[in-house]
């Protein structure tokens, strides 16, 4: 059997499966993602497990993910969406995001940062300031966010990872930070961050229903999810591998 054909279930034994229920006394959890749906796809099981342990969890989506409306070939500086189309999209995604977070037992908030195809150093600095203000406000005991390669190289995912890293470095708070899509020892998937070695995972059949329900809240993105993750994204992403940032 080659390493790429080993099942995720086999691999689970090689790294620590976290007993999230034992984290009951932890306090507040904050999940910072680039777009609505990232929390459900990459962290849905974990968020559901944490909120079932009665931890308070806020999901902050930096942007509305409005770039989904622009075909890849047309993306670039100076491309603007018609205002009414953008407004219609935003109200749809806000409703879907709220429902998805609710199904995970979390509170969702969208910060309204632009969804950028390329993140300049100036935009990155603005994002660091935004995340710093968020951390000052939320003071989380556990922070969940994107991996260092943006899972599959997504510029906004990478920018959020960098913003969180810089914000916690500049902060006086002692944040416990986990990054998702971490690379387990002997299986592969296109959404693993190769430089982030998995240190632990969250799994559990009893949580899969919550993750499925959250992903299915994104009705406007179901074709995209199917194209990237197949017919059953929740099962495909049914073990969540994490790396500790600090």
Kindly list the residues in this chain that would bind Zn ion in the complex (CB under 5 A): 34-35, 38
Taking the complex as a whole, the smallest distance from the CB of residue 241 to Zn ion amounts, in Å, to 17
Distance between CA atoms of residues 148 and 125, nearest Å: 17
**Straight-line distance from the first to the last Cα atom of the chain, in angstroms, rounded to the nearest whole number:** 35
**Torsion sign over Cα 21, 27, 33, 37:** positive
Of the pair 36, 238, the CB lying nearest Zn ion is at: 36
Taking the complex as a whole, the smallest distance from the CB of residue 146 to Zn ion amounts, in Å, to 8
Of the pair 35, 211, the CB lying nearest Zn ion is at: 35
Taking the complex as a whole, the smallest distance from the CB of residue 65 to Zn ion amounts, in Å, to 6
Burial of 56 (0-12, 13-18, 19+ CB in 10 A): middle
Of the pair 38, 240, the CB lying nearest Zn ion is at: 38
Residue nearest to Zn ion (CB): 35
Taking the complex as a whole, the smallest distance from the CB of residue 35 to Zn ion amounts, in Å, to 4
Helix segments in the chain, DSSP class H: 8-12, 38-52, 83-104, 121-138, 150-153, 155-170, 205-216, 222-229, 233-236
Of the pair 12, 89, the CB lying nearest Zn ion is at: 89
């Amino acid at each position: 059997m080659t390493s790429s054909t080993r099942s995720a279930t086999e691999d689970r034994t090689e790294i620590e499966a976290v007993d999230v229920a034992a984290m009951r006394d932890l306090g507040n959890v904050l999940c910072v993602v680039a777009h609505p749906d990232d929390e459900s796809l990459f962290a849905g099981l974990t968020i559901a497990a944490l909120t079932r342990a009665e931890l308070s969890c806020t999901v902050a989506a930096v942007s509305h993910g409005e770039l989904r409306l622009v075909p890849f070939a047309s993306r670039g500086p100076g491309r603007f969406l018609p205002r009414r189309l953008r407004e219609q999209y935003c109200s749809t995604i806000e409703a879907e995001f709220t429902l998805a977070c609710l199904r995970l037992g979390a509170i969702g908030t969208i910060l309204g940062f632009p969804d950028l195809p390329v993140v300049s150093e100036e935009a990155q600095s603005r994002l660091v300031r935004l995340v710093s203000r968020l951390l000052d406000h939320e003071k989380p005991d556990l922070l969940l966010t994107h991996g260092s390669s943006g899972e599959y190289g997504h510029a906004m995912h990478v920018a959020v990872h960098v913003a969180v890293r810089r914000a916690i470095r500049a902060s006086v708070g002692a944040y416990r930070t986990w990054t998702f899509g971490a690379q387990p020892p002997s299986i592969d998937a296109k959404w693993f961050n190769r430089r982030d070695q998995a240190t632990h995972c969250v799994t559990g059949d009893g949580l899969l229903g919550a993750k499925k329900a959250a992903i299915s809240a994104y009705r406007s993105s179901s074709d995209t999810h199917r194209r990237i993750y197949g017919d059953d994204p929740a099962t495909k992403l049914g073990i969540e591998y994490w790396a500790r940032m600090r």
